[in-house]
Each structure stands twice: as structure tokens, then as C-alpha cells.
Structure 1
């Protein structure tokens, strides 16, 4: 046994076509199957044609150049699609109903989506793989107000990350109260509701009607504005939920003596001078109003009464990065471009089919550095418009036949996010132009899917627990969230009752009512329960019948008035 020549290892001799070879290992150790990243990214390439939309050519006096221009059109068609990050896509199907809002935090690491299914879902690009495209947290902002008698919730109108830090996001639903929620899904602030019986809206501390939309201050991460159906814009400090910081009561000149109309859209951006921000809002009466972003807000800096057709919902409005231009998309099938320095008439007007009649949250957005304008359409196409003349530079189908509701273009990732009426979120990107985000997701090896990997099937999403969390029975979840600090206070604090699926369905209540006799008497008035046996006791005296006939009858002496006066006339009558 000292050398290798002392013994020989016998190997099985099998023919090349022997079926036993399929069961014999070719090597020892764990086998890994490496994925081809290039092929994986290529599979996410969109099949839709990327061709510029046909637009009328500007008139020119040079007829000889027309032949040269026609020759160069074919070569330009292939180059137009490479200018925009729309060659590949990542599809997220995490909601059940129409997508009403999409937003990315400033770093581009987390994606926020809101829907008509009354939920907000948070996605983390770093935790997703090509086979695990799901949200890590589902939030119902109004779940705390649900009770056994009422389980109503509210559709999400708008949800947006704060522009500077991204640590919180503004959540607006079909409700008079907006909410501030952390990036992990915890409700931090619920703004107060106003007094609906006060006529002067300047005296109320909050909205008295449903909020349509809102946005953040461009430079102050603690300020946000909301637009409501009570004809007001309200500026809030997220550190003070008891009352708004400023009230902008818009008096409509077209609404008659009441002077109220619904505010449908609002945008807060930098001004053309760059010193103070500018606040632009649209109303249901067709008005477009502009305020100085830092106040005072007693009267608007400019107002246009018939910017869009009255009684049509102007849901899309945005301000360019330099603060000079404002673009609006109205319910009258028009897109208009305005100049804030000469805010009296539109510079350019173009026709564009509107979806505001069914989806009032339809928006329009400027691209980073205001190089383009993007919006959706009722046919499911993404329109990329020229910011100077509003002509379509690229029209590409995203969800053909299904309306495209909301769009966004992230500056750092250079990726376009769209939300459609079929509950799909599309993240459009280009591997050569885009950074991180969907590119990182498609560059990962696919993960082998297992039922335990989906936290929605193995954990309670309302408690915000991950699939890897280990909970010791009898411990308080609240103490773990605080990191174990202030243990003395946690001991004195009553333990939080954990809601189990058994307690939610409450089968014990049904069991008691069906199997325990007279259990319904717990909810009866004791006096009424006894009086219903009064007639039976008179007819059939079961317990008092023993002395019914032998009970003596009490007889009182009848005294006349004279006898009464003779016996006790001198005595003073007792006052009763």
C-alpha cells in the first residue's frame, strides 16, 4: 500500500449506449448550473417595433433637399429607438386591479405602486430575481380603521416618494385624510380631517372632502401639498398632523355664487428665476392657477379661466426642470404647453385622446432635464413627445388595447415605469443606457422557486415580518421593533395581543350560539326577560300556589273624618 502500483481500482465497464450511464455521476460534489446573463437580458427585449411616429414635416423652400431627406429617413428610424431606454422591459404583476400610481425613491432602489385594489406595494430591486418578481411589503393604509362592522377601504389615488431623502412617501386615497408612510410600510402620520359644517374653508384644519392628488415641495423634504374636492390646496408640515401649515382657498369665477370647484391636479417645481418655487394647480371648472411657491397665497400670481374645457378632469400637469414651461393634459382630449413667464395663453396645443373619464389619475411627465415629455394613451401606447412642439418622437405599444394610466421617468436609473389598467407595471430599460434597477434584476441568476420563499404564503404581511424572521412564542413584537431598548418600559407595558387566523374568523362565537342553550340571554335586558313570564305566572302559579288559598287578607279600619279629627286633630300633620 506504499505506492499506487500496489493496487488497482476496478471501474465498471459499460457500453457507450448502455442506459445505465444516465444514472452514474460524472463527477463528485455539488453541481451548479450557471445562467447565461446575456441570453437572459436578451429574452427581456421587447418585441414591439421601435419606430418613430409619423409626424408632419415642417415646410421648407428647398425642394431639392426633399430627396435627400427621404433617403435618410430609413436610417434614422433605427437610431430613434436607441435614444430612449425602451428596448427591454421588466413586467411586475403584483396588483389585482388598475395601477393608479408609480414612484421611485431618489436612489432608485425601491419602487412604489398604488392601485384601485386599495393597497400600496413596495418592491426592492436588490431583493428581486428574474423568477421572484414580487413585492416585499403590501400596505393597506386604512387597515387600522377597519372593524368587524365595517371593512371598507379606499382606492389609492396617488403615492409618491419624497424628492430629497426618499425615507417616506405621501399616500392619498379616496378619503379626506392623507397619510405619511415610511419606506418600510409603517404609517407615521395621518393628517387631520376638517370640520365639514364650517363654511369658510380657511377656518378648517384639514380637508372636508375627498383628496384628488398631491405632491412634495421641490427643496423642503418636510412640506407637501394636497388638492381636494373642497376647492382648496393645503400645504402640510409632516411633523404636525393637527393642522395644515397654509390654506389656499380657490374661488372659482365660473362656479356661481358658491365659488367652489374641485381641484384636480397640482405640481410644485422650481421657478424660471430659480429663487422661489412655483405652484400650479388645475380645477374642474377648466381653470389653471399659479401661485408663488413660498407665499403669500392670498391671491394667485396668474390665473387662466378657460385653460381646458369646463367640467372635464385635468389630471395631468407637470413643470419643467428649469421652471419655465408647464404641460397639462386635460379631459377635453388636448395637451397644452404653457410659459410661466407669460401665463395667459398656451404656446402649443395638440390633440391626444384622454382617459380621464374612467381614470382621473392619468398623468403626464417631463423627462429628466426636460428633454422629452412622456404620457400614456387609451390604446396602451407610450408617447414620447418633443418638449418644444409636442410632436410625437416615439410611440411604442406597452399594453395594446389596455389604457396606459401613469408614467414616470427616473433620472438616476434612466428607466421608464408605466402602470396600466390591467394591473401590470412595466419597467422599460436599455442595458447600455440604464443603470441598476431592472438591469441588476435581469443580471442575476434565476432563483429556484420554493413555496417557503414567498412571504405572502408563509407569513402575516400585516405584521411586516420577513420569511426569515424567527418569532419566539410569548415574546412581544413591539419590543423587537424597538431593538430591545427601554426594557423597563416594555415590562410595564401590556403585551400586544397577537391576532391569529383563528381569532380573525371568530368561530367560537358561532359555536356558542349553536351549542350552548340560552346563550342569547346574555344580550337581553333582564327586566324584559322576567316580564315576559308575568302572564304565565298568574295563570299557572307553580311556586306560589302552596299558600294561594290560605293567605290571609289584610283588612284596614275605615275611620270617618270626625273620628280622625277627635283622635289626632291637635297633632300636626306630617308633611309629605
Structure 2
């Protein structure tokens, strides 16, 4: 009874709500007493903890396995580890090992090596302590030869930090090149040690596009053709693998690959832009607007010829076009039947003006266009396109086309090329006056290009030929000092389009005589045209023998049995002996046979005359009547043709005698 009272005193009262049974842990003595008591304990048995139940189940399972298989401890449970504690412990161990290694390097640098130290190292026999052994292993793995001075180590750490903090993104240093390239002068950074020429046609190439990976090139011309070039599949003959006319009889004005390279935008002289896939098959065509509606915002598409177009740099489904109807329109590839947005640039007085060149900024947040009134206007892509975010009116000469505008790779500068013979560089942080104006750059085409080098140290543009000039040039200017760095003599025609591909490090130039040139450096350039110049052009051998299916008849007679030829060579030799299969020419003949005539006459009648008729030739001096009557006696004696047929029915002919002259008597009866 005393034990029962003691148990009751330890129990807590039951509270309503969440019912808990908190059984206190009793000591071993109490358990023993409870187990040895006569009647045990009244009420419910105390609930054991979850761990104890699992242990009991494991023991029972092990006993059962031991009885059946004779194996004990079969399949032990995996241990549970605390990962956070292990990571912290590894960090501490790494810091301690690094600290010991640096101390050892410093002691090695400060203290010269002596023989005694070597001797002491050699005298160590037996296993080292684990800490020293771990340090030795680390030293053996990391340090080989004399240690690196700490100055160089710090320098390497700095350069590693500069090379790019974000994984998967190219930093500016990687785009601009290595340290060796930075030390080179600007002329040496231009990849123009080698050049390759590709022939598009005979007319001016006014559109160029290279896909982002650098595997393909597309060229467009005013001869309506678009040619596709595959660098991996071309050989040294440099021929395009496909040429087509996507817009029928309209000149191509702009081409651009999408950001993923799976489609290409084609802008032509029509009012409808097209999107083609990589192989040149049409994907979509934009709708044409109603040309009788004056408000361009009310129409679904452009109503006049296009001028330019480009893809959005980050949204792969969106592209932009500008037209002679005075609008820029944004499109989505999902819905080519309706534009996404329309932008209407305005002149100083509020009248509309035609945009001649358009582009997106590198981050895609700004839409910019150059207009026919000489202004450059910009809108924020994230807002509605009512008011401009930046507008400079007198960028170029009025009533002249701005043929190209291009953002720098860092996005702080803008280059504009106009048909007023100028190239201007603008600072977007102070977008009021140009940083510099490069003059005397003649341009004949509305598509004359300008762009920045991948490291933004150079800006380049093409120059058209003037009177007295012999060769077109691609001119490079320094963006810091605004001096002409160098120029490339391209061809004896105008230089219109130029693309410096950052990934390939190659320059593609479109010329006025239908030639496309590619400039590259043997060491600094990658893939692209370098893949083609190595391959040799091979002619395909045409097989003249057409293999016929052989019919096998095992029980055929020898006359109808076909010979089984093992090789095609024997078959060709046998066919050569057959005059029909080998098409042997006819042998010469001496007489006419089978419709053919010998050399004596070109026709059968001439052959008959010469060989049969002329054998009994009549002299020209002989009287033809006498020659015929010569056969009269022979015909009477030996009639062969006519006389025998009429001999029985033909009357005897009576000829008039020659004695009776004068008129005949009418009363005299006629003789029958």
C-alpha cells in the first residue's frame, strides 16, 4: 500500500483539452520493486518510450534471423550524422591546416635550409602523429618545388576576384580579352591578319546577320535574294547552301537572328516583315494595315515600305519594325495578325516623321530610333510609348537618313551614322551634345552601318566610294582619343554593312559589288571561317551503272538462266561487249539496207537513181521518141505487163492509112 501511495503522489492530475500521460521515469530500484511485488501494479501499465520499443523490436528481429539463418546482427541500421556540426568542424580543420601551411611557408622563406634539418627529417622513424601526417599530405599535394612568394599569391587572388563574381556570366574583362590583349596596341586587337571572300551575287549586299553561336551567316541584297552560309558545312569554295527570295520582288533591307538563333527576321521593301527558321522556311508574316486609315494607331500593321527592324535582346518572342508610314511597331511571334504596341515619333512642330533606323538598348529597357528629320528619339520599354524619355532634335542634318544607331556593349555610349557624311558618338549620361563628330565619311546607302568593338575601345563604320576613289574602306576610330586608329582596304566598291562578332572575334563586311568578306586572326579568332579554309573541295563521282534487281530462278532452263555476277566490274565489261547496251555506232555500209543508205546518196530515191536508173543511161543527143520506140518491137513480140491482161478483150487496132488526104466524107459510114 505504501508503494501505491508513492505512485499516486508522483502522478499529475489529468487536465481537459490536450490530454497527456506524463509517466515519470522511476529509478531501477522502483522498477525492481514493482516487478517483484506479488500482484504487480494496479491500473494501466506505464507506456514505454519510442526508442525503447524500437530497440526491443530490433532485438526480436535479430533473434529470429539468428534462429533461421544462423547470422547475428544482420543489416545494422545506418548512423545519423549532424551535417551542420560536420561542416563547422571541416571549416575549423581547413582554417587550421591553411594557417599551419602559411606558417611553414614563411619559415621556409625566412630560414635557409641546413643539413641538420634534412638529417632530422631523415631520422624520424615510425608513423607520424595524425595532425603532422595530414599537414604533410596537404603540403605534398599543394606545394611542388620552391614556394610561391606571397606577393604573387596576393596578385593571383586579386585577378581571380576580378575575372567574374557571377557564375555563367561573362565579365567585362573576359569580353575585352586577356591581360596580354590589353597591353597590345589597338591596331593589333583588330582580327584582320587573314581574309576570306564569299560571293553573294552582283548587286549590293545591304543586310548581314550572324547567329549568336557564330555557326551561320545570312546575307541579303537589293537583288531580292537571301543566302544562308553554314561554316561547319562549307569547304574552301565558300558557297552558300541555300539561296531564296522570301519577299519576291522586293529588296532586302535588314536581317537579324533572334537571341536563341532559331529564327531570323527579314525586313524588306514591303509593308510586311517575315520571320524564317534557320533553314529559310517561313514561320510567320506580319499583317498589312489599312492604308486608307489616317490614324496609324487604328491599323493592325504597317501601310508603307519598311526601313529597318530588330529583335528584343531578352524577350525571344518580341521584335520591332519601323516603316515609311511614320511608325515603329512592336510584334510578338505568337500573334502576327496584330501589333503589340505602336510608337509614333514626331517632329519639332508635332507632325509625323519617318523613322529610318531602330534598335533596342543592350538591357532591352530602351527603344531608340533615328528619324528623317535628323533627330534621335528614345522611349522606355517598361512604360507606355506616349512621351519620349530622351530626344535630341539636331543630331544629324534634316531631310537625310540616319542609316544606323548602335549602343555600346556597356550601354553608356551611342554611335549614330548619317547620310550627311558623319559618324557621331554620344554619351547617354549627358545626351545633349555629341562627344565627337567624325566627318568626311561619304555614304550612298540607307543601310550604312556603324558599331562598337566588343571591348568598346573602337568604333567602326564603312565608307562609300566617291569620284576619284578606287577602293572602299572600313575605318576604325578610338573611342577615348577620337583618333583614326586604322582602316582596312576592303574591295573596289562601297562598304555598307559590317559586323564584329564578339564570340568568334571575326569581322564580316558586306560590299556594293555583291562580295561578303570575313576578316579573322589565326590565333585570336575561333571557328567561323577558320573551319572552311582548311577543307578541300571534292568532286562527287557519278555512277553510270544503275543496279538492277536480280531475279533468282533456280530451276530455269539454261537458255533463260541469268548469270550471277559477283562484282559490278564484270557486269560493266560484259555490257561493253553488248552492242545494244554499250550504244555502239552503226558500221559503214556499201549498199542500202534496213532503211539506211550508203555514201552514194543521202536518200533512197537518189540511191535508186544512181545504182539502177543510171545503169541504162540515155544519151543527151538521142531523140527520146526514137529511144522509146526502140522497145516497141520487143514489146510486141514479148508482151509482159499490159498486153497480156487485155489480150482477150482488147480489139484489134486499125490505123488510118496515110494515102487519104483531105477532108473526110460526112456521108461515108465510119468504120468500127
> Do Structure 1 and Structure 2 share a fold, with TM-score over 0.5?
yes
- Identify the match of residue 108 of structure 1 among 210, 214, 237: 214
Shift in Å, 1:262? 1.5
Residue 82 (structure 1) aligns with: 188
Residue 427 (structure 1) aligns with: 518
Distance 1:79 1:327, change over 3 A: closer
How far apart, in 2, do the equivalents of 1:388 and 1:292 lie? 28
Q: Deviations over 1:216-259 (max 9, x none)?
A: 111111111111111111011011111110100112225xx7x1
Q: State whether structure 2 residue 527 is matched by structure 1 residue 436.
A: yes
Residue 226 (structure 2) aligns with: 120
Shift in Å, 1:88? 0.5
Distance 1:89 1:196, change over 3 A: same
- Identify the match of residue 240 of structure 2 among 110, 135, 143: 135
Does the residue aligned with 1:413 lie in a helix, a strand or coil? coil
Q: State whether structure 2 residue 332 is matched by structure 1 residue 332.
A: no
CA RMSD of aligned residues (A): 1.9
Matches within 5 A, 1:87-486: 87-131=193-237, 133-143=238-248, 153-162=249-258, 164-253=259-348, 259-270=351-362, 277-355=365-443, 358-379=444-465, 380-400=472-492, 402-444=493-535, 446-449=536-539
How far apart, in 1, do the equivalents of 2:307 and 2:481 lie? 29
Distance 1:389 1:225, change over 3 A: farther
Question: Is the 8 Å Cα contact of residues 218 and 277 (structure 1) preserved in structure 2?
Answer: no
Distance 1:448 1:270, change over 3 A: closer
How far apart, in 2, do the equivalents of 1:338 and 1:203 lie? 35
Residue 507 (structure 1) aligns with: none
How far apart, in 2, do the equivalents of 1:110 and 1:240 lie? 27
Aligned residues: 354
Higher RCO (C-alpha 8 Å, min separation 6): 1
Does the residue aligned with 2:246 lie in a helix, a strand or coil? coil
Q: Deviations over 1:428-447 (max 9, x none)?
A: 00111100011111122x12
Shift in Å, 1:80? 5.4
How far apart, in 2, do the equivalents of 1:339 and 1:168 lie? 33
How far apart, in 2, do the equivalents of 1:441 and 1:339 lie? 40
Does the residue aligned with 2:402 lie in a helix, a strand or coil? coil
Question: Is the 8 Å Cα contact of residues 335 and 352 (structure 1) preserved in structure 2?
Answer: no
Does the residue aligned with 1:338 lie in a helix, a strand or coil? strand
Question: Is the 8 Å Cα contact of residues 268 and 293 (structure 1) preserved in structure 2?
Answer: no
Does the residue aligned with 2:255 lie in a helix, a strand or coil? strand
Does the residue aligned with 2:320 lie in a helix, a strand or coil? strand
Q: Deviations over 1:44-81 (max 9, x none)?
A: xxxxxxxxxxxxxxxxxxxxxxxxxxxxxxxxxx9654
Q: Deviations over 1:246-295 (max 9, x none)?
A: 100112225xx7x1221111121135xxxx62221110111110111333
Matches within 5 A, 1:11-90: 81-90=187-196
How far apart, in 1, do the equivalents of 2:459 and 2:374 lie? 22
Residue 147 (structure 2) aligns with: none
The structure having more radius of gyration, on CA atoms, is: 2
How far apart, in 1, do the equivalents of 2:411 and 2:185 lie? 30
Does the residue aligned with 1:384 lie in a helix, a strand or coil? strand
Does the residue aligned with 1:189 lie in a helix, a strand or coil? strand
Structure 1 stretch displaced more, 212-221 or 341-350 = 341-350
Shift in Å, 1:331? 1.2
How far apart, in 2, do the equivalents of 1:351 and 1:449 lie? 50
How far apart, in 2, do the equivalents of 1:451 and 1:425 lie? 31
How far apart, in 2, do the equivalents of 1:389 and 1:173 lie? 38
Q: Give the TM-score, by structure 2 length.
A: 0.51
Unaligned runs of 5+ in 2: 1-183, 466-471, 543-672
